[in-house]
Amino acid sequence: MLESDVHQRPPYLISHRGRAGHALVENTIEACETALEQGANGLEVDVQLCGSGELIVFHDFSLKRFFNKRRFTWSTPLRELRVLSRNETETPFYIPTLNEFIEHFKGTVPVNLDAKVFIPFFGPLAKYLVRSIKASGFRSQFWVSSFNPFFLRMVKHNGMDIQTGFLFSRFDLLRKWSEPLWHSDFWHPKAHLVDDAFMELARTHDKKVFTWTVNHPGTWHRLSRYDDLRGIISDTPHTIAPTIDQKLIKKPILLTEV
């Protein structure tokens, strides 16, 4: 591959949880907006069910890290979560519902919804995610990822046209052999897995590749030789952006067409 060809189709630079060169709380609308201003042109956020049944944009299953509470997110109502996020942290923040998040960002940049799958709520989470994406009117802008392939199959059961990404940090024989069963559209490998053999396998299976977590320009330099790599997910998009020929995309994204 010629050096001049490397950036013919630059990958999406996707901010992991809205992180970038700022101190804003992850998975908030403010953090994601700032990440876009600092060079990202895609977003990845975490989604799960809370105790009152809403889909919320929040990563942790436990409230320990943010609020020092020995409770689970899935058993805590949204109203109480918002009281905690307003009053029980050094930096108050607002926990958006998925519908609020989608309403704010629909028609802008690609958004990867990383489903935090708690087994008892497997079915409802898939159903409500698909419902929210379809209701947005921009279903090709959003895609659902998970480490749990059974969950991804449930998403497809609820909406075959909803795009999905299979997350993995290792790609052993079981994953290779079973992958066709899950009907995922994209592969989300950890960055160390991406090499010539892996990318050739992805091409053979007609899979677009979005890799994580690319936080150092040196890692991107290694990956930049793969001009069909469709996205890199990063905690530090502000440091990666200057090395990629990117333009911030402010129009509806059709991932099925890239």
| pLDDT of residue 6 exceeding 70 | no
Amino acid at 65: R
65 Cβ contact partners less than 8 Å away, ≥ 6 residues apart: none
By the 8 A CB rule, do 118 and 171 touch?
Answer: no
Task: Return the CATH fold of 3-49+107-257.
Answer: TIM Barrel (3.20.20)
Q: What is the tens place of the pLDDT at every residue in 191-234?
A: 999 999 999 999 999 999 999 999 999 999 999 999 999 999 99
**CA pair distance 58, 33, nearest whole angstrom:** 16
Amino acid at 34: T
User: In this structure, what token pair is assigned to residue 152?
Assistant: 């991804």
By the 8 A CB rule, do 41 and 12 touch?
Answer: yes
Q: Where are the domains of the chain?
A: 3-49+107-257
Angle between helix 98-105 and 29-37 (nearest 10): 30
Q: What is the tens place of the pLDDT at every residue in 137-192?
A: 999 999 999 999 999 999 999 999 999 999 999 988 777 888 888 889 999 999 99
**CA pair distance 103, 107, nearest whole angstrom:** 9
Q: What percent of the chain is predicted at pLDDT more than 70? A: 91
Question: pTM of the predicted model, to two decimals?
Answer: 0.92
